Amino acid sequence: MMRSLYSGVSGLRTHQTRMDVIGDNIANVNTVGFKRSAVTFKDVFYQTLRGGSAGDSGGTGMGGTNPQQIGLGVTLGSIDVVHTQGAAASTGNGTDLMIQGDGFFRVSDGTNTYYTRAGAFHFDNEGFLVTTDGLKVLGTDDNPIQIADMNDPTTMPQSYSIDKMGVVHYVDSTGAAQQAGTISIAKFSNPSGLEKIGQNLYRATTSSGDPGSELTPGQGSLANTTIIPSTLEMSNVDLAQEFTDMIITERGFQANARTITTSDQMLQELVNLKR
């Protein structure tokens, strides 16, 4: 069977994968904190028809020859998450937070710690700062951020605010100013190594490594990281880039489909040699 037939099939598969990634990027163009993914290809391996050889060292004989190799298709190289900053969208809601700079909010389900750039938070009935799915936002002391119990009228706070350093302030029922803690930010040396698990969450892997020990915004390795209150970070998907990639991917798919069609026609000619 012709090698070009299998090369064309591999091209269809990889271009379909790239189109799947592009489709997911476009679907999440308005998803808070979403980071787009980019696909790269790589060649598979080669069949060597003839190896290379060196020339006659004496200079009087034959010269050297180059190897003769035939490529056998393409495969997926990588699917990388692009962690560039998304646009800021002002909401007017004091518990909506955006990270300006590197890092991720730390949230917990009580057992595991996850990471997110989506800062659409709110205070639940017990006064915990939680995500839209109920995961609790962790402070720099590894404890959930909590203001007074909302169910108890005697302890219900009169007001609250969050500053750009992540400190949660509130005025208790007696009118005294209090602090509920500081929202922690985790920074990874290789954020592209984080695993997406859905619901705008990431999980640490051996590729990403563990986050740094510094968790306080504006300090240490997070010196250039701050929190913008009443603002959400939108998706970093660029529709112009995605549609351009879509056209390139579509043409690549068509070209590989044409390779299969042409290879099939050549095989048909061979079959027709026996009449």
Structure confidence by residue, pLDDT tens digits, 110-121:
999 999 999 999
Sorting pLDDT into bands at 50, 70 and 90, what band is 33?
A: very high
Q: Please tell me the predicted confidence (pLDDT) of residue 45.
A: 82
225: nearest Cα among 188, 195, 181, 178: 188
Buried b (16+ CB within 10 A) or exposed e, 244-257: ebbeebeebbeebe
pLDDT mean across residues, the chain = 90
- What share of the chain has pLDDT > 70, as a percent? 95
Q: Which residue has the higher pLDDT, 14 or 178?
A: 14
pTM of the model: 0.86
Answer whether residue 1 shows pLDDT above 60. Answer: no
End-to-end CA gap in the chain: 20
| Interval 47-74 mean pLDDT | 78
Cβ-proximal residues to 48 (8 Å cutoff; 6+ apart), any chain = 67, 68, 69
| Interval 133-144 mean pLDDT | 93
Sorting pLDDT into bands at 50, 70 and 90, what band is 275?
A: low
Q: Please tell me the predicted confidence (pLDDT) of residue 70.
A: 86
Tell me how far apart the alpha carbons of residues 269 and 264 are, in angstroms, rounded to a whole number: 9
Sorting pLDDT into bands at 50, 70 and 90, what band is 235?
A: very high
Answer whether residue 43 shows pLDDT above 80. Answer: yes
Sign of the CA dihedral running 57, 59, 60, 63: positive
DSSP state, residue 189: S
Q: Please tell me the predicted confidence (pLDDT) of residue 150.
A: 65
| Interval 82-104 mean pLDDT | 94
Q: Which residue has the higher pLDDT, 122 or 2?
A: 122
Sorting pLDDT into bands at 50, 70 and 90, what band is 60?
A: low
Tell me how far apart the alpha carbons of residues 199 and 13 are, in angstroms, rounded to a whole number: 28
| Interval 163-192 mean pLDDT | 90
Q: Is 71 left (phi over 0), alpha (psi -120 to 50) or beta?
A: beta
Answer whether residue 149 shows pLDDT above 80. Answer: no
